[in-house]
Amino acid sequence: MRVAIDPDGDVLLVVGKHESQVSLQVSSKVLSVASKMFKAMFFGHFKEAVELASSTTPYQVLLPDDEPVAMVALCSVLHHVEFAPDLSVLNLSAFAGVADKYDAIKACKLAGKAWLDHIYLQTTGISSFLLIEILCVAYIFEDYQNFKKISKRVLVQPDGYQRVRDFISDAVSFPDSVPNTFAALRRDTEDMISEHLMDPITVMARGRNWYNTTDHTSNKGGLSSCKHDAAKSYDYTWELMQLGLWPIVPRKWNLETVVQSLAAFKGKTTAQAGILIFPNFGAKCSACSCDTVHRMDTLKKLVEEKLKGLCLDCFRAGVAQGTGKGCRALSEASKLAFYSTIHQLYTKKQTTDNRMAEPQAKRPRLADSKSTPMNRKVDSDPDGDVILVVGTDESGKMSIKVSSKVLSISSKVFKAMFSRNFKEGNELARSSTLYEVPLPDDDPDAMSTLCNILHHNTDDLSFPDDTDKLMEFVTVMDKYNCAKASKIYVVPWIEKFHSPSLSQMADLLWVSHNLRYNNSFRKFSSMLLHSDHGVKTLREFQIKETSFPLEICDSLANRRLELDHWLVHNLSMQLTKIVALRNKENSFKWETHTAIYPKCHGSSVVEYIAQLEVNGLWPIEPLRWDFNRTMEALGEFQIPESGRDRCANCAIDINKHIENLAIEFRSMLDKGVTPRAKLSGSSRVVVDPDGDVLLAVGEQESEVYIRVSLKVLSVMLKVFKVYEL
């Protein structure tokens, strides 16, 4: 079977043996830019380089020991060609193997990470063997985030650390410290769980050693310990047994299940259940001070801390976990905490100081800086044949050395430019020196980033925390039709913005919409929904960026209005429930309840409104609310269960209602706005304002009208196809 990765390629890689053999037509220049091994093979002093130089047809290179599927994936990634691989763990492992073999890890990192991200979502119930394979791949591609997540999955399994040791012979790239660290951390966690689970029983059993003479006098009886401690020991052991934490055998436990069980611990007592294991059992004892609920909550937090996963950078540096200077896992955790604090401060400031009404400055270009050096030089390909002269004297010119072949592979615009049908292509073919192409209208920094990405020269690539620079890059990427080749690099750039401002949220929503990143689109639309100024900010952005669909602004406004109405209805509902007990159909329940607690419902109404007001939820005016603060207020809402004029059940019902309301509201907020949702009614796209044809595309609610020129279409296209808009 023959696969044309590059239809104009000068090399034919014959991969595999016998029936599974595949011939891949590729470009030697593209492979050599991404891989030092291929560069030595095709442009060094090897036999292949000599024969390739004299060959008039695609030169065959036999690679019988390589896996065809993995080599198709590798060559597709290096040529920036989209492909649909079988997203299995073994195929991913084979891809990582050939990328490592041909020294192309740098060029394949992000593709490998994207593949890993997809597979991680499907790891529920996966075998230990495949889990270790994924861990190896994360190690090879230096993907510290997935390495951390997968290592946690291994740690929580009872036999996880042993599996690492069993399979380590196959994972030849792993250092010896990896299985030892897994084993040590698992043992430490198991010992800690055993000690903390037994400690409360030890404390309650040795009560006679710390009781004073006046303690527990009414409840000691003939026991060495207070009856309360004896009963509590029984209660504690019984509840652990119900939760699967007794007998204490942590070596057989899945530690995720342990965390869930500790979270479910409530400190239940036999007295609450109406069971008295001792006669004349007193109701309370102020001297019994062993708080089992607090102890279990503390243990849960300690176990969660142990199960954060392992740091890839520390393994590579050969240092103890959490002590490496370049430890990205620790750095990311501290950054998230910092961004969270900044976001809270920013949110509070927005509620008191509305600055969104002020006119915003025009978006600056990347190179608009007095300190920008003139005539900067960048070597995206040191052996390149073209110099792109980007920008003007005012913006700071930049000379970028590139390969015309690499650019042509990645971009239809550059392919056309360097073909014989254009002036640049003809002059390049005749030129014996580096050929200069002036690009005065493009941003130098954005163009430099794009060229480095297309040439897999990404070691020193940085993603500034600046949405203006991101938008400049996306603009250049879109202009030269390089989205397929470079949009994978935009994902980590977008992920850097942990706590963007409102204007940045609008920028990021535009980028997500342009590149059709559905998850990011939902994320940033959700962030805009949180703010009471989000809709206004997006409409102001749309006025400046006319390419941004007005329908998305309308969708966000409608969604915010739906959430406002939903809050009004559900916060008012509890009052309706209380008052509705006086209806005839509830008369029996009302009479029974008022006979015992005659003032309960009046007290409940007053306390409910008072708690809403204390937390800033009354009067109910969600149009003016910042939903970040609303979520905090719902979380802080609490009516005390004990009250002279009110029964505990009514307070529990109200608190439960607000708790469920908060969970559902959070879920609705997190969904954001559905990307590329069907538009209500027809939409019109004007390609040619003077066009004489109106194309009707789609059906009913999704129908779109496109005004075009029939003459232009008939000249440019012999076959006209309408793709999904």
Q: Which residues pair with 696 in a beta bridge?
A: 705
Residue 80's contacts (CB-CB under 8 Å, 6 or more residues apart) are 409, 410, 454, 482, 484, 485, 486
Cβ-contact 558, 617 below 8 angstroms: no
In a domain, 178, yes or no: yes
Q: What is the pLDDT of residues 40-96, one digit of tens each?
A: 999 988 888 888 888 889 999 999 999 999 999 999 999 998 877 677 888 999 999
In whole angstroms, give the CA distance from residue 255 to residue 261. Answer: 10
Are both 126 and 16 inside the same structural domain?
yes
Residue 255's contacts (CB-CB under 8 Å, 6 or more residues apart) are 155, 156, 189, 303, 307
Are both 701 and 642 inside the same structural domain?
no
Q: Where a domain ends, among 286, 306, 326? A: 306
Q: In this predicted structure, what is the pLDDT of residue 723?
A: 33
Q: Averaged over 619-639, what is the pLDDT?
A: 86
Percent of the chain with pLDDT over 70: 73
The angle subtended at Cα 584 by Cα 582 and Cα 589, nearest 5°, is 60
Strands 693-697 and 704-708: antiparallel
In whole angstroms, give the CA distance from residue 532 to residue 521. Answer: 19
pLDDT band at 579 (very low <50, low <70, confident <90, very high): low
In a domain, 377, yes or no: no
Between the CA atoms of 226, 231, 234 and 239, what dihedral angle is there, to the nearest 10 degrees? -130
Are both 689 and 641 inside the same structural domain?
no
Q: Structure tokens of 493?
A: 């750039």
Q: Structure tokens of 219?
A: 């409840």
Does residue 289 register a pLDDT over 50? yes
- Edge-first strand order for the sheet with 22-26 is 2-4, 22-26, 11-15, 59-63
Q: Where a domain ends, among 253, 284, 306? A: 306
H or E, element range at 107: helix 105-120
pLDDT band at 207 (very low <50, low <70, confident <90, very high): low
In a domain, 153, yes or no: yes
Q: Structure tokens of 641?
A: 């269960």
Q: Averaged over 221-232, what is the pLDDT?
A: 64
Q: Structure tokens of 634?
A: 């719902």
Burial of 212 from C-beta contacts in 10 A (0-12 / 13-18 / 19+): exposed
Domain that includes residue 167, residue range: 2-182
| 146 Cα distance to chain centroid | 11
SS (H, E, C) 555-621: HHHHHHHHHHHHHHHHHHHHHHHHHHCCCHHHHHHHHHHHHHCCCHHHHHHHHHHHHHHHCCCCCCC
Q: Which amino acid appears at position 673 of this protein? A: V
Q: Structure tokens of 154?
A: 């291994």
Does residue 277 register a pLDDT over 80? no
Are both 8 and 154 inside the same structural domain?
yes
In a domain, 485, yes or no: no
Nearest alpha-carbon partner for 548 in 505, 586, 577:
505
Are both 690 and 601 inside the same structural domain?
no
- Edge-first strand order for the sheet with 435-439 is 376-379, 398-402, 386-390, 435-439
pLDDT band at 647 (very low <50, low <70, confident <90, very high): low
In a domain, 644, yes or no: yes
What's the farthest any 2 CA atoms get from each other in the chain?
Answer: 108
Burial of 92 from C-beta contacts in 10 A (0-12 / 13-18 / 19+): buried
In a domain, 94, yes or no: yes
Q: Structure tokens of 717?
A: 């296209």
Cβ-contact 637, 629 below 8 angstroms: no
Q: What is the pLDDT of residues 459-494, one digit of tens each?
A: 777 788 889 999 999 999 999 998 888 888 888 888
Are both 71 and 165 inside the same structural domain?
yes
Nearest alpha-carbon partner for 225 in 233, 312, 516:
233
In a domain, 687, yes or no: yes
Are both 623 and 700 inside the same structural domain?
no
In whole angstroms, give the CA distance from residue 335 to residue 247. Answer: 41
Does residue 701 register a pLDDT over 60? no
Nearest alpha-carbon partner for 398 in 449, 364, 468:
449
Q: What is the pLDDT of residues 342-367, one digit of tens each?
A: 344 444 444 444 433 334 444 444 44
Q: Averaged over 278-285, what is the pLDDT?
A: 53
Are both 73 and 117 inside the same structural domain?
yes
Q: In this predicted structure, what is the pLDDT of residue 705?
A: 56
Are both 153 and 270 inside the same structural domain?
no
In whole angstroms, give the CA distance from residue 136 to residue 93. Answer: 8
Are both 91 and 203 inside the same structural domain?
no
Q: Structure tokens of 288?
A: 């019994």
Nearest alpha-carbon partner for 412 in 314, 324, 479:
479
Strands 11-15 and 22-26: antiparallel
Are both 687 and 653 inside the same structural domain?
no
Q: Where a domain ends, among 277, 306, 335? A: 306
Strands 435-439 and 398-402: unpaired
Q: In this predicted structure, what is the pLDDT of residue 235?
A: 85
Q: In this predicted structure, what is the pLDDT of residue 274?
A: 46
In whole angstroms, give the CA distance from residue 331 to residue 145. Answer: 12
Task: Report the CATH number at residue 26.
Answer: 3.30.710.10
In a domain, 216, yes or no: yes
pLDDT band at 707 (very low <50, low <70, confident <90, very high): low
* Three-state DSSP state, 511: helix
In whole angstroms, give the CA distance from residue 666 to residue 664. Answer: 5
Q: Structure tokens of 153?
A: 């999955």
Are both 33 and 154 inside the same structural domain?
yes
Enter the pTM of the model.
0.70
Domain count, the chain: 4
Percent of the chain with pLDDT over 90: 36
Residue 284's contacts (CB-CB under 8 Å, 6 or more residues apart) are none
Q: In this predicted structure, what is the pLDDT of residue 124?
A: 74
